[in-house]
Amino acid sequence: MIPAIEKAPLEEIKKFQEAKLKETLVYLSENSPYYKALFAKENIDITAIQTLEDLQQLPVTTKTNLQENNDDFFCVPMHKIVDYATTSGTLGNPVTFGLTDGDLERLAYNEAISFACSGIQQGDVVQLMTTMDRRFMAGLAYFLGLRKLGAGVIRVGAGIPELQWDSILKYNPKYLITVPSFLLKMIEYAENNNINYNASSVKGVICIGEALRNQDFSPSVLAKKITDKWDIQLFSTYASTEMSTAFNECGHFQGGHHHPELIITEILDDNNQPVAAGESGELTITTLGVEALPLLRFKTGDIVRLHSEPCLCGRTTVRVGPVVGRKQHMIKYKGTTLYPPAMHDLLTFFEGVQGHLIEISTNDLGTDEILIKIASNEPTEELLDHIKDHFRAKLRVTPKVEFIAQDILNKIIFAPMSRKPVTFIDKRI
Ligand SMILES: [Zn+2]
């Protein structure tokens, strides 16, 4: 089920996207109060935008623009909204995203082709281990996509290893959809309860939210730790509410495939200029075919690389590499720059670490300071030294590391209002 456009020559994909872009600009100029005002203010003639390169003549849209003018981004009257979703709001106020009936159909199509890209087929049974409520777009998108694909869905929701295993043993799902670090909890539960996980029905997992690969696509510490024990295939998916589009890995694990019919991607530097091919920069997107809240040149805040060499699966589309980190979370440390995901992955390596929290603050000298709080069953000085040494060797930074009681840490990590575990706190001014 590979859409023909995803196997087309690059030049054809470009032409196809340019036609879609022109339609989108007309739609925005007629229906979006925000973009209508912006085009008027900046004297923008949308008919002058003919190619993807011409996009550079248009202003970008930032998260702040979206937060401050949320209502003006809606292109349809409220009675057309079928589903209300919000962004996670980890940085500032959450943004409301309404979806029309057509948007839900687009979302379903997007997930169906993305799951198919990762190998899920009609008739497969899939266990959904993420929340479907809490104004969360992803859970609903997964359900709609699997339904469209003709797969069976078991909606277990997040957490509770006992219930997850009960469902796996009862309904024999071939795939799971979850946060990969939760698989470690699933393994632990299985080991403590004599469940032979390698003999289970599970063959693959669609993994959200955490890095499975390093920039060269070799497995991350987390991915290795899982597959060393459990012989399953881990597929990365990268998506966000704002993009309303997913980038899934195929069975060759070389980044998430782009769907040209759904979204235009640009990789921009700090001055909003395109980076050289293969360089990392901020993923900037223009949604295609979205009715309620389409976005033009929206800066996602995610630092990624695009990979354009053809993939062995037959798709010619570009692929988005593992997310290096969020732009706002970049840490400058004595001439080195790094992002939290690399630190999270490194901490996964330590068996003695039951949980962790990374705090970044500004010290008296105005530079970034890293403090790592660790919960451990065996809190020894040796473990602290071991962690520091590992950070020095692998990331060239020397963080402060201290112990914190597990129950206190859990209260911070599993904050009731947050959908995702809070493992990074930015206290910088
Ligand atoms: Zn591929």
DSSP assignment of 341-377 equals HHHHHHHHT-TT-SEEEEEEEE-TTSSEEEEEEEE-S
Instruction: Indicate the number of domains in the chain.
Output: 2
Could you please report the per-residue DSSP string of 32-60? -HHHHHHHHHTT--GGG--SSGGGGGSPP
- CA–centroid distance, 141 to ligand 1, in Å, is 22
- CA–centroid distance, 318 to ligand 1, in Å, is 9
Average pLDDT, the chain: 95
- Among 121-130, 207-216, 346-355, name the most confident range: 121-130
- CA–centroid distance, 140 to ligand 1, in Å, is 25
CA distance 114 to 116: 5
Within 8 A by CB and 6+ apart from 411, the residues are none
- Which structure tokens are listed for 140? 């609903």
CA distance 25 to 304: 26
Same-domain status, 282 and 356: no
- CA–centroid distance, 235 to ligand 1, in Å, is 12
User: 392, 401 in Cβ contact below 8 A?
Assistant: no
- CA–centroid distance, 200 to ligand 1, in Å, is 27
Closest by CA to 320, choosing from 273, 276, 284, 270, is: 284
- CA–centroid distance, 238 to ligand 1, in Å, is 15
- CA–centroid distance, 241 to ligand 1, in Å, is 24
> For a pLDDT cut of 90, what percent of the chain falls above it?
88
- CA–centroid distance, 312 to ligand 1, in Å, is 6
- CA–centroid distance, 414 to ligand 1, in Å, is 35
Same-domain status, 321 and 406: no
Same-domain status, 198 and 317: yes
Average pLDDT of the segment spanning 105-129:
98
pLDDT of res. 91: 57
Average pLDDT of the segment spanning 344-359:
92
- CA–centroid distance, 173 to ligand 1, in Å, is 24
Same-domain status, 365 and 274: no
Closest by CA to 126, choosing from 160, 177, 187, is: 177
Closest by CA to 243, choosing from 421, 78, 107, is: 107
- CA–centroid distance, 32 to ligand 1, in Å, is 35
- CA–centroid distance, 306 to ligand 1, in Å, is 13
- CA–centroid distance, 310 to ligand 1, in Å, is 8
How would residue 414 be classed by pLDDT, with cut points 50, 70 and 90? confident
Going by their DSSP bridges, the two strands 204-207 and 233-240 should be labelled as parallel
- CA–centroid distance, 239 to ligand 1, in Å, is 17
- CA–centroid distance, 64 to ligand 1, in Å, is 34
- CA–centroid distance, 253 to ligand 1, in Å, is 7
- CA–centroid distance, 185 to ligand 1, in Å, is 30
Tens of pLDDT, residue by residue over 366-409, are: 889 999 999 999 999 999 999 999 999 999 899 999 999 999 99
Which of 307, 325, 343 corresponds to the end of one domain? 325
Same-domain status, 412 and 286: no
- CA–centroid distance, 308 to ligand 1, in Å, is 11
Same-domain status, 169 and 108: yes
pLDDT of res. 334: 81
Domain containing residue 337: CATH number: 3.30.300.30
Q: Where are the alpha helices (DSSP H) in 172-269?
A: 180-192, 221-229
Same-domain status, 84 and 216: yes
Q: How many CB atoms within 10 Å of residue 386?
A: 15
- CA–centroid distance, 191 to ligand 1, in Å, is 34
Same-domain status, 187 and 263: yes
Same-domain status, 55 and 203: yes
- CA–centroid distance, 319 to ligand 1, in Å, is 8
- CA–centroid distance, 171 to ligand 1, in Å, is 30
- CA–centroid distance, 198 to ligand 1, in Å, is 26
With tokens 């289970």, the residue in question is 200
> Is the model's pLDDT at 308 over the cut of 60?
yes
Same-domain status, 237 and 340: no
Rounded to whole angstroms, the maximal C-alpha distance in the chain is 68
Which of 325, 353, 385 corresponds to the end of one domain? 325
pLDDT of res. 417: 73
- CA–centroid distance, 311 to ligand 1, in Å, is 5
> Is the model's pLDDT at 89 over the cut of 70?
no
Q: What is the CA angle 390-395-356, rounded to 5?
A: 65
What does residue 304 show for φ and ψ, rounded to 5 degrees?
-145, 170
Kindly state the helix (H) or strand (E) to which residue 336 belongs, with its residue range: strand 336-338
Average pLDDT of the segment spanning 132-146:
94
CA distance 5 to 252: 20
CA distance 104 to 107: 5
Average pLDDT of the segment spanning 50-73:
97
- Which structure tokens are listed for 33? 């109060």
What does residue 252 show for φ and ψ, rounded to 5 degrees?
-100, -5
Same-domain status, 403 and 268: no
CA distance 204 to 319: 20
Q: Where are the beta strands (DSSP E) in 215-334?
A: 233-240, 245-248, 256-257, 263-268, 281-287, 298-304, 306-307, 319-320, 325-326, 331-333
Going by their DSSP bridges, the two strands 400-403 and 368-375 should be labelled as parallel
With tokens 């991915």, the residue in question is 223
Domain of residue 406: give its range.
330-426
Which of 325, 356, 380 corresponds to the end of one domain? 325
Tens of pLDDT, residue by residue over 293-305, are: 999 999 999 999 9
Domain containing residue 54: CATH number: 3.40.50.12780
- CA–centroid distance, 327 to ligand 1, in Å, is 27
Same-domain status, 349 and 260: no
- CA–centroid distance, 187 to ligand 1, in Å, is 29
